[in-house]
Amino acid sequence: MSAPNILLFIADGLRGQALAPDSQVVAPNVRALAAGGIQVDNAYTPLPTCSPARASLMTGLLPHNHGVLQVEHVADADQCVLRVDKPHWAQRLQGAGYQTAYFGKWHIERSLKLADFGWEVGEPLGQEAHRKSSEQGMGSESALDPELSRYHQGPPGYNDTLHYGVTDVPPRGRGISAPTNAAIAYLKDAPSDRPWCCVASYYEPNEAMIVGREAYECYDVDRLRLSANLRDDFSDRPNIYKRQQQIFADLSDDEWRQALACYYGRITEIDAQLGRLLSVLDETGARDDTIIVFTADHGKYVGSHGFEAHNVGPFEEIYNIPLLVAGPGIASGVRTNARIGLHDLCPTLIELAGAEPIDVPDSRSCAELLLDPAVNEQAFDSGYAEYHGTRFPLAQRIYWQGDWKFVFNGFDFDELYNLADDPAEMRNLAGDPEQAERVCSMMGEIWTRLEKTGDRALLNSHYYSMRFAAIGPNKTP
């Protein structure tokens, strides 16, 4: 088979649970894509914050190795530099003869010089440009229905911040359409003499959750199911979770349902953008030669555990992300429980394109699994992620093994969940004497990952005042 074209669709803040088969979300294009390809139920982000996650996608590296640990717009300039001494998958595709194109949300570093990272064509949308476009009326707050909008207020001294709202401005008049419009223009004139890779990247469905009325009205607000863990009491979890939960404690169940309706509506609007791109592939005859990847940088709480956004906690609502792949050679109509990280897409796309591999210890290609999931699913039964805090230090390392999930917390006691018995993650088993051996084993696996990936900050923790782990790095699992 000749080198396939690649269309990569990246949403922002779209949790994997929202696209599960039993979800209430209206997303016909995503459902159709899944039916014709492979849906990875246990896909996860290596860090649930935009810039670090997206940098990991580009490099195949965990954040401590690529250096982007915070969202770029809140960090000093020298703390949000995407390393150019490490290879990027777009560069590898260029080397294999691909034309590479990137449209929409970048939010990885500030230069917006995408050519430095392997992108030949593009219209990146930075944070400042996104803010200005909103202020100029593309879904601005002035166009919101006051009866269906909510602002988060207090404590004293904080600005009121828009949480969610409904607007009569259609998607074509808001920023959500900008990446699609640019990508469509590119796809209609894409080269026919060599393969291409096109990325369409979005700010949606993440905050602020402004949705068009048409998509909002796809949902019966009163019938939306709230998360079983909405009123989680965190009696056996770190105290910082209670502190985070208090920020949103004044929201009623009805207000959370309203927030869900706006969030789900934004997913419906994102689904429509995917549909527009797929229609162009059909119109140009490129569909059969194109591998299509649909994913997100991280998830979003929207009431789960009483939280909003995606900045605190090790929970599946923000770590589990959608991952759907379809196209020539890809398994069709398959759901897999393989645990694949967003950063694993870097070596995967390289292999699917037949380009020169990137040899990094942090990620691995899942191309073979996408072609034949039955043969290789068991090879992907574990996963590893890290968290460094957003603005405030908060060291976490997370390890998945089968149905089990262990969280090392450098700031408080650890967490252990059985995701099969407790999918809402409301029972912390880390202190259960019957699980002591499992805790030590999984902490040992974390030490192994720390050493393998060169995570020096935690590896150099033999110092006696930092001995927080259940076992030290010299004890193997």
Q: What is the pLDDT of residues 279-315, one digit of tens each?
A: 999 999 999 999 999 999 999 999 999 999 888 899 9
Q: What is the pLDDT of residue 130?
A: 53
Locate 269 and state its tokens.
Answer: 């609007």
> Would you give the DSSP letter of residue 412?
S
Say how many CA atoms lie within 13 Å of 447 toward its Cβ.
Answer: 20
How many residues are given for the chain?
A: 477
Rounded CA separation 310/13 (Å): 8
| Strand blocks (E) in 68-195 | 99-105, 121-125, 150-152, 161-167
Reduced to 3 states (helix: H, G, I; strand: E, B; else coil), residue 122 is: strand
* Cβ–Cβ under 8 Å, residues 122 and 185: no
Q: What is the pLDDT of residue 143?
A: 81
Q: What is the pLDDT along the chain (477 residues), one digit of tens a residue?
A: 589 999 999 999 999 999 999 999 999 999 999 999 999 999 999 999 999 999 999 999 999 999 888 877 766 666 667 778 899 999 999 999 999 999 999 988 877 889 999 999 988 875 555 555 554 444 556 689 988 998 887 777 777 888 999 999 999 999 999 999 999 999 999 999 999 999 999 999 998 899 999 999 999 999 999 999 999 999 999 988 998 898 888 899 999 999 999 999 999 999 999 999 999 999 999 999 999 999 999 999 999 999 998 888 999 999 999 999 999 999 999 999 999 999 999 999 999 999 999 989 999 999 999 998 887 788 899 999 999 886 666 889 999 999 999 999 988 889 999 999 999 999 999 999 999 999 999 999 998 999 899 887 777 655 545 567 878 887 655
Reduced to 3 states (helix: H, G, I; strand: E, B; else coil), residue 290 is: strand
Neighbouring residues of 233: CB distance < 8 A, sequence distance ≥ 6: none
End-to-end CA distance of the chain: 43
φ/ψ region of 192 (left if φ > 0, alpha if ψ in -120 to 50, else beta) reads alpha
Neighbouring residues of 365: CB distance < 8 A, sequence distance ≥ 6: 344, 347, 348, 350, 351, 357
Q: What is the pTM of this model?
A: 0.91
Neighbouring residues of 385: CB distance < 8 A, sequence distance ≥ 6: 44, 45, 46, 47, 48, 319, 341, 397, 398
Amino acid at 433: P
Locate 341 and state its tokens.
Answer: 């990280």
Pairing of strands 323-326, 38-40: antiparallel
Locate 200 and state its tokens.
Answer: 């369409």
Q: What is the pLDDT of residue 462?
A: 58
Cis preceding-peptide flag for 208 (omega within 30 of 0): yes
**Rg (Cα) of the chain, in Å, rounded?**
22
* Cβ–Cβ under 8 Å, residues 412 and 427: no
Rounded CA separation 186/199 (Å): 11
Pairing of strands 5-12, 196-205: parallel
Cα angle 74-77-80, degrees, rounded to a multiple of 5: 70
Q: Which domains can be identified in the chain, with CATH numbers? A: 5-394 (3.40.720.10), 395-477 (3.30.1120.10)
> Would you give the DSSP letter of residue 248?
T
Residue identified by tokens 């922002």 is 12
* Cβ–Cβ under 8 Å, residues 445 and 402: no
Locate 15 and state its tokens.
Answer: 């949790």
